[in-house]
């Protein structure tokens, strides 16, 4: 009885909660110490495995900073990773990573699968094709690969990422994308990986969201790695000095890193030029283009532009120059369907627009790079024509009808009314000033030829030219006035015209000052 009680007492003391807690603590301490010793033992091996794997898969010289291995949970953290493609030192490193954390699943390791990788601070510099004899670092034993099996990464995320595609031409800036987020799934060497990315666009300020596929990675020539996807782009055009509007775009892309074909469409609500104090129009485009991924230059192979009710077509390029911020846009723009009323709404404050009709337009468009106002930078050079021009104001149309009657020598013929006008000319726009050459305005019986300038912002005119009438001066009048002018007909008859009068137009578009140049009229050159 006594011995049984003693055994029970000793057993209860041996397995008391206090002793169990102490034993558990000691066991945990032993495990942690063993894990720490094991991690220190394995870290050099893990480091060598990482260097070997990356050297093989990326064909590069690998430099790696500190790594830390933990077992609870199973993962390792690495710092300061740099990979130089083929050891080249004549171009930036292929890959630079500030820090990365690799999350492992013990069961997956048998199948060469990595569960998750989280990267912060990554730069990927896609190099051009190497030149024969280019400088390289020696491929040391640490850099050399060993024919290891392929690894699959289920999920990779990055923050603070920059991707640059280096151009072949030394005089060009690399194309750089800053990614606020990048999410890649199922990275393997023998199949494409899917990805989503959010790209920050500086000018115009906005965000590009992309969903697509890339790969397999072409380690021998990274620039030829396949890439495809769909994208949306939302931007504030007000971040480009001189224009306003909210742009929404969507499109598809396909190609390789250094050459991407794309097509899509854009919609810009309330597109306007604020300095003109004019109206806004809905702007839509549909485009096909080829993007040089090494420099970001774009060949616009076909663009259809809808500005209000006008339809225009354009082809051209968007290209940059090394050392100069921004891109230069040069286009060839043509149209046989420019709505004159919409155009006047877009560039003048007169409501309703003064005239209506359909313009034919053929112009070169040049918008140089720079931070200045678009209106100051934009250059145009071309020609225009409208064969059926009408005027909104009845008073203005009445003046045109009177001009046609007088020009035909039938000043009182009421059957001549609602006369259609023709207008055309050659123009150059530079520094916000339109310069007209051979500006022509024709109605039946009369024609006006002028040249000069029109400043868009103050809307100031400085034009001079001549009015040609089929009729003689006396035929433009009736009764006593006609009889008085009869002796002077020879003075006004010149250059094959029945009447030729030199005129000028000054003032503004709202308050034009039209005057007779007597000296030029009587003594034409």
Across residues 3-26, what is the average pLDDT? 49
Closest CA to 463 of 510, 517, 521, 505: 505
Percent of the chain with pLDDT over 90: 35
96's enclosing H/E stretch is: strand 95-103
- The pLDDT value recorded for residue 133 is 47
* DSSP classification of residue 20: H
Backbone angles phi and psi of 205, in degrees to 5: -65, 125
**Model confidence over 264-305: pLDDT tens digits?**
999 999 999 999 989 999 999 999 999 987 777 899 999 999
- For residues 461 and 452, the answer to whether their CB atoms sit within 8 Å is yes
- The pLDDT value recorded for residue 420 is 80
* DSSP classification of residue 258: T
Across residues 386-397, what is the average pLDDT? 87
Task: Identify the residue with better confidence: 173 or 10.
Answer: 173
Q: How many helices (H) and strands (E) does the chain have?
A: 8, 25
- The pLDDT value recorded for residue 292 is 84
- The pLDDT value recorded for residue 50 is 73
β 358-367/355-356 pair status: unpaired
Closest CA to 457 of 284, 201, 218, 274: 274
**Model confidence over 79-126: pLDDT tens digits?**
888 888 888 888 889 889 899 888 877 666 565 788 888 999 999 888
Backbone angles phi and psi of 321, in degrees to 5: -130, 140
Residue 360 and residue 362: Cα distance in Å, rounded? 7
Closest CA to 344 of 428, 397, 276, 263: 276
* DSSP classification of residue 475: G
Q: Is a pLDDT exceeding 90 seen at residue 492? A: no
- The pLDDT value recorded for residue 33 is 42
Closest CA to 93 of 101, 81, 85, 102: 85
Residue 98 and residue 120: Cα distance in Å, rounded? 6
Return mean pLDDT, the chain.
82
Task: Give DSSP secondary structure letters for 273-322.
Answer: -GGGT---EEEEEEEEEEEETTTTEEEEEEEEEEETTEEEEEEEEEE--T
Task: Identify the residue with better confidence: 459 or 142.
Answer: 459
- For residues 156 and 117, the answer to whether their CB atoms sit within 8 Å is yes
Q: Is a pLDDT exceeding 60 seen at residue 61? A: yes
- The pLDDT value recorded for residue 333 is 97
**Model confidence over 226-236: pLDDT tens digits?**
999 999 999 99
Which two three-digit tokens encode residue 451? Answer: 């040249």
- The pLDDT value recorded for residue 522 is 64
Residue 182 and residue 186: Cα distance in Å, rounded? 14
- The pLDDT value recorded for residue 91 is 82
- The pLDDT value recorded for residue 518 is 66
Secondary structure (3-state) at 153: strand
Across residues 462-468, what is the average pLDDT? 91
Residue 164 and residue 175: Cα distance in Å, rounded? 5
- Which of 61-65, 152-156, 268-272, 521-525 has the weakest average pLDDT? 521-525
Secondary structure (3-state) at 431: coil
- The pLDDT value recorded for residue 265 is 97
- For residue 117, is it left (φ>0), alpha (ψ between -120 and 50) or beta? beta
- Which of 32-41, 87-96, 173-182, 382-391 has the weakest average pLDDT? 32-41
Percent of the chain with pLDDT over 70: 83
Q: Is a pLDDT exceeding 50 seen at residue 146? A: no
Residue 492 and residue 61: Cα distance in Å, rounded? 88
Q: 171 falls in which pLDDT band (50, 70, 90)?
A: low
Across residues 438-443, what is the average pLDDT? 91
Q: Is a pLDDT exceeding 80 seen at residue 174? A: no
- The pLDDT value recorded for residue 17 is 55
**Model confidence over 27-42: pLDDT tens digits?**
444 344 444 444 454 5
- The pLDDT value recorded for residue 476 is 81
Q: Is a pLDDT exceeding 80 seen at residue 216? A: yes
Q: Where are the domains of the chain?
A: 35-133+149-201, 393-522
User: In the beta sheet, which residues pair with residue 199?
Assistant: 179, 208
Closest CA to 172 of 86, 33, 297: 297
Backbone angles phi and psi of 144, in degrees to 5: -75, 140
CB-based burial, 38-68: b 16+ in 10 Å, e otherwise? ebeeeeeebbeebbbbbbbbbbbbbbbeebe
- Write down the pTM of the prediction: 0.80
Q: What is the largest CA-CA distance in the chain?
A: 159
- Which of 207-211, 232-236, 361-365, 446-450 has the weakest average pLDDT? 446-450
Residue 354 and residue 400: Cα distance in Å, rounded? 13
User: What contacts 240, CB < 8 A, 6 or more positions away?
Assistant: 203, 204, 374
Across residues 125-149, what is the average pLDDT? 51
Residue 133 and residue 476: Cα distance in Å, rounded? 85
User: What contacts 496, CB < 8 A, 6 or more positions away?
Assistant: none
Quote the Cα angle for 245-246-248, to 5°: 140
Residue 450 and residue 517: Cα distance in Å, rounded? 13
């Amino acid at each position: 009885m006594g011995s049984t009680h003693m055994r029970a007492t000793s057993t209860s003391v041996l397995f008391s909660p206090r002793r169990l807690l102490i034993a558990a603590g000691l066991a945990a301490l032993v495990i942690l110490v063993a894990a720490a010793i094991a991690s220190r033992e394995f870290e050099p091996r893990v480091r060598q495995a990482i260097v070997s794997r990356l050297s093989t898969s990326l064909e590069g010289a690998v430099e790696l900073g500190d790594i830390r291995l933990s077992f609870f949970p199973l993962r390792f953290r690495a710092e300061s990773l740099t990979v130089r493609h083929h050891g080249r030192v004549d171009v930036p490193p292929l890959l630079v990573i500030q820090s990365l954390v690799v999350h492992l699943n013990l069961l997956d390791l048998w199948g060469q699968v990595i569960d998750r990788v989280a990267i912060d601070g990554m730069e990927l510099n896609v190099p051009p094709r190497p030149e024969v004899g280019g400088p390289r670092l020696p491929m040391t034993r640490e850099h050399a690969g060993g024919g290891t099996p392929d690894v699959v990464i289920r999920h990779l995320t990055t923050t603070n990422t920059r991707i640059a595609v280096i151009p072949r031409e030394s005089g060009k800036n690399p194309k750089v994308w800053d990614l606020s987020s990048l999410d890649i799934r199922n990275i393997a060497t023998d199949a494409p990986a899917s990805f989503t990315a959010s790209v920050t666009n500086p000018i115009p300020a906005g965000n590009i969201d992309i969903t697509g596929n890339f790969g397999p990675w072409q380690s021998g020539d990274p620039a030829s790695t396949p890439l495809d996807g769909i994208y949306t782009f939302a931007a504030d055009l007000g971040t480009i000095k001189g224009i306003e509007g909210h742009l929404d775009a969507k499109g598809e892309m396909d190609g390789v890193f250094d050459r991407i074909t794309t097509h899509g469409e854009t919609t810009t609500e309330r597109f306007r030029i604020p300095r003109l104090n004019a109206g806004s129009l809905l702007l839509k485009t549909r485009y096909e283009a080829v993007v040089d991924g090494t420099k970001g230059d774009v060949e616009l192979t076909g663009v259809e532009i809808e500005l209000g009710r006008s339809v225009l077509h354009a082809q051209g390029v968007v290209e940059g120059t090394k050392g100069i911020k921004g891109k230069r846009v040069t286009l060839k723009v043509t149209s046989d369907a420019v709505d004159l009323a919409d155009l006047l709404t877009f560039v003048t404050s007169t409501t309703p627009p003064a005239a209506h009709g359909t313009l034919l337009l053929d112009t070169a468009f040049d918008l140089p790079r720079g931070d200045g106002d678009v209106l100051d930078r934009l250059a145009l050079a071309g020609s225009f024509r409208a064969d059926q021009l009408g005027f909104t104001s009845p008073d203005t149309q009445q003046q045109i009808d009177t001009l046609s009657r007088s020009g035909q020598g039938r000043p009182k013929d009421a059957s001549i009314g609602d006369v259609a006008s023709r207008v055309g000319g050659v123009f150059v726009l530079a520094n916000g000033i339109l310069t007209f050459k051979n500006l022509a305005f024709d109605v039946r019986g009369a024609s006006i030829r002028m040249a000069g300038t029109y400043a868009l912002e103050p809307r100031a005119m400085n034009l001079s030219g001549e009015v040609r009438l089929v009729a003689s001066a006396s035929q433009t009048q009736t009764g006593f006035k006609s009889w008085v002018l009869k002796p002077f007909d020879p003075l006004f008859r010149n250059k094959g015209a029945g009447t030729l009068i030199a005129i000028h137009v000054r003032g503004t578009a709202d308050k034009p000052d039209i005057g007779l140049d007597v000296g030029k009229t009587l003594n034409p050159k």
